[in-house]
Chain A
Amino acid sequence: LARNYTNEVEDAELASRAAHGDADAFHALVDRHADRLFRLAVALVGNSADAEDVLQESLIGAFRGLSGFQGRSSVKTWLTRILVNQAAKFRRSKRKMAAVSEFEPSPDKAVGVAAKMDVNAAISELSPEHRQVIVLRELENMSYDEIAEVLQVPQGTVESRLHRAREALREKLKAYLA
């Protein structure tokens, strides 16, 4: 998709132009963040089809909320926050991740496939708060500061949730941990 903006234009500038009605600026912003947000959505909701829906709804929500974006956090953090909230809303309404979790098994040997299924099942069984911090930390490699900003909780809360989430995963996955 050809868009009029190069990578030299900052995210905040694109957001500002989009807020003033520049549709191309918003499409350019979407192009920059779509892949990362999609991966995050898959990790949070468990399958590509639902993740695509969550991503679409999140970005429509972001477009409608552009005028309220103050620039206090980065565009990346702002979009991530919207997506995490949308994924949580989606899961609350559907509650079907366990049934459709797709994390595709790679053509490894059987034990590898079992490990993948068990790890993904263990993550999907976590509470929403614990799953969010595990995904943001372990798969998105976000710092505690960034996670706190995305979830809008104190850093201490992030650490305690992460600690409890890891304890829960350790218990569920002890067969794979020496």
Chain B
Amino acid sequence: MAECEYQNSLMAYHDGSLDPQRSAQIESHLAQCPGCSAELARLRSLSQLIQSNVSLPAGLSQIARHRLHARLDSAMDDGILRAARFISAIAACVVVGCSIGLLRARDVSAAPPPWVDVAVQTDTAAASANPDASTPAAVWYLASANRSDESP
């Protein structure tokens, strides 16, 4: 038998996927085409056979539903725990980073404090008036102390 031009649309018609206009065309064709009518009957028989013989449960039992929610709670807790671990790791990195920064700052602070420079500058300015003042303030102080120790 030559394939009817409507044959390819029969499955979509059977599954309710055609627009109303195309469905109406198929319906009027079916009345005149025994081949397409027989094919549609076969499609319907198969669907009926499947739907009436596959017995699926109505849904989850109460126990299974409880298990499902408990498992989801546990997965959510795991997620929160993972997030907490992640945040803790970041916090630890920040603390370590800050500590290293502070240690480096302490190394820099081991150099002479700024007031020493100020004292040297002040001494240099006063050097013309007093030759002893050309040395840094601390050395000048020690030298003065020695001189006073040597005097009777």
Q: How far is the CB of A86 from chain B (nearest CB, A)?
A: 14
Q: Is the CB of B49 within 8 A of A119?
A: yes
Contact check, B68 vs A166: say whether CB atoms are below 8 A apart.
Answer: no
CB distance B60 to A38 under 8 Å? Answer: yes
List B contacts of A27 (CB < 8 A): 69, 72
Contact residues of B between 56 and 115, Cβ < 8 Å to A:
56-60, 64-69, 71-73, 75-76, 79
In the complex formed, the residue of A with least CB distance to B58 is A35
Whether A34 is near chain B, meaning CB under 8 Å from some CB there, is yes
Complex contact A30–B68 (CB within 8 A): yes
User: Is B28 an interface residue when CB atoms closer than 8 A count as contact?
Assistant: no
In the docked arrangement, what's the CA distance between A152 and B150, Å? 101
Chain B nearest CB from A101 CB (Å) reads 11
Choose one: A23, A137, A169, A177; the contact of B73 (CB below 8 Å).
A23
The contact size tier of chain A is 35 or more
- Judge if B119 is at the interface, Cβ distance under 8 Å: no
The answer to whether B66 touches A139 (Cβ under 8 A) is: no
Of the candidates A26, A52, A115, the one whose C-beta lies within 8 Å of that of B72 is: A26
Please, what's the 1-or-0 string for B21-41, where 1 marks a CB less than 8 Å from any CB in chain A? 000000000000000000000
Interface of chain B, main secondary structure: helix
Q: Which residues from 10 to 60 on chain A have a C-beta closer than 8 Å to any C-beta of chain B?
A: 23, 26-27, 30-31, 34-36, 38-39, 42-43, 48, 52, 55-56, 59-60
State which residues 38-59 of B face A: CB under 8 Å. Answer: 42-43, 45-47, 49-51, 53-59
Contact A63 B72 (CB under 8 A): yes
Contacts of B76 in A (CB 8 A): 23, 26, 63
From the candidates B46, B53, B60, B67, name the one contacting A120 in the complex (CB within 8 A): B53
**In contact, B42 and A138 (Cβ under 8 angstroms):** no
A43 and B56 form a contact (CB under 8 A): yes
Q: Is the CB of B49 within 8 A of A64?
A: no
Please give, as numbers and ranges, the residues of chain A lying within 8 Å of B42 by CB-CB distance.
170, 177
* Contact status A144-B17, CB under 8 Å: yes
B11–A35 CB distance below 8 A: no
Could you tell me if A177 and B53 are in contact, using CB atoms closer than 8 angstroms?
no
Instruction: Kindly list 13 other residue pairs between chains A and B, CB separation below 8 angstroms, not including A23-B73, A170-B46.
Output: A1-B66, A38-B59, A39-B56, A48-B57, A52-B60, A103-B56, A116-B55, A119-B50, A139-B51, A143-B16, A159-B12, A173-B46, A177-B49
* A-B complex: 8 closest residue pairs judged by Cβ atoms: A35-B59, A119-B53, A60-B75, A39-B56, A116-B53, A138-B50, A144-B17, A38-B60
Show the binding face of B for A, using Cβ within 8 Å: 11-12, 15-17, 42-43, 45-47, 49-51, 53-60, 64-69, 71-73, 75-76, 79
Chain A residues within CB distance 8 Å of chain B:
1, 23, 26-27, 30-31, 34-36, 38-39, 42-43, 48, 52, 55-56, 59-60, 63-64, 103-104, 106, 115-116, 119-120, 123, 134, 137-139, 143-144, 159, 162-163, 166, 169-170, 173, 176-178
